[in-house]
A = this chain, B = another copy of it.
Amino acid sequence: MIDYHRILERYRPTEDEERKLRRISRSIVQRINGICASRGLRAEAVIVGSYAKGTNLRDGDLDIFIAFDRDYPEDLVNTEGLRIGHAVLPEGREKYAEHPYVSGEVEGIKIDVVPCYKMRFGEKKISAVDRTLLHTEYVNQHLDDRGRDEVRLLKIFMKSIGVYGAEAKTFGFSGYLCELLVIRFGSFNDVIGYFSRAKGRVIIDEDDRFQDPMVLIDPVDPDRNVASPVGLESLSRMKIASKLFRSSPDERFFQIDHEKKNVQYHDRGTCITIYSLPRPDLTDDVIYPQVYRFRSVLQKIMEAHEIRVISSEIDVSDRIYVLVETATCAEDRIHVHTGPPVDTDNAVDFINSWKGRERSRGPYIVADRLYVDVFTAQRSIEDIVRQEIFNYSIGKNLDRFRKAMEITRFREGMDKMPILDKFFGADLFKL
**Measuring CB to CB, which residues of chain A are less than 8 angstroms from any residue of chain B?**
198-200, 232-233, 235-237, 239-240, 243-244, 247, 266, 268-270, 306, 308, 310-311, 327-328, 332-334, 336, 342-343, 347-348, 351, 355, 360-370, 373, 378, 423-424, 426-429
Are B306 and A378 neighbours in the complex by a CB distance under 8 Å? no
Residues of B within 8 A of A247 (CB): 348
Kindly list 10 other residue pairs between chains A and B, CB separation below 8 angstroms, not including A270-B334, A306-B327, A364-B427: A232-B367, A233-B365, A236-B342, A237-B342, A237-B365, A239-B343, A240-B370, A310-B334, A310-B336, A363-B427
Are B236 and A367 neighbours in the complex by a CB distance under 8 Å? yes
Are A268 and B364 neighbours in the complex by a CB distance under 8 Å? no
> A364's closest neighbor in chain B, by CB?
B426
> A312's closest neighbor in chain B, by CB?
B366
Are B351 and A429 neighbours in the complex by a CB distance under 8 Å? yes
Distance between A380 CB and nearest chain B CB, rounded to angstroms? 14
- Report how far A268 CA is from B359 CA in the complex, Å: 10
Copies of the polypeptide in the assembly: 2
Picked from B232, B348, B423, the residue with its CB within 8 Å of the CB of A244 is: B348
> A426's closest neighbor in chain B, by CB?
B364
Secondary structure of the A contact surface, majority rule: mixed
Residues of B within 8 A of A364 (CB): 426-428
Interface centre among A198, A236, A243, A362 (most CB of B within 10 A): A236
- Report how far A373 CA is from B327 CA in the complex, Å: 13
Are A240 and B365 neighbours in the complex by a CB distance under 8 Å? yes
Residues of B within 8 A of A268 (CB): 333-334, 360, 373
> A197's closest neighbor in chain B, by CB?
B343
- Report how far A311 CA is from B111 CA in the complex, Å: 63
Are B348 and A332 neighbours in the complex by a CB distance under 8 Å? no
- Report how far A428 CA is from B372 CA in the complex, Å: 10
Residues of B within 8 A of A232 (CB): 367-368
- Report how far A270 CA is from B360 CA in the complex, Å: 12
Distance between A168 CB and nearest chain B CB, rounded to angstroms? 17
- Report how far A233 CA is from B308 CA in the complex, Å: 29
A-B contact pairs, 25 of them (CB 8 A): A198-B343, A233-B365, A233-B366, A235-B368, A236-B367, A239-B342, A240-B342, A240-B347, A240-B348, A243-B347, A243-B348, A247-B348, A266-B360, A268-B360, A269-B333, A269-B334, A306-B327, A311-B336, A311-B373, A355-B429, A362-B427, A363-B429, A364-B426, A364-B428, A365-B428
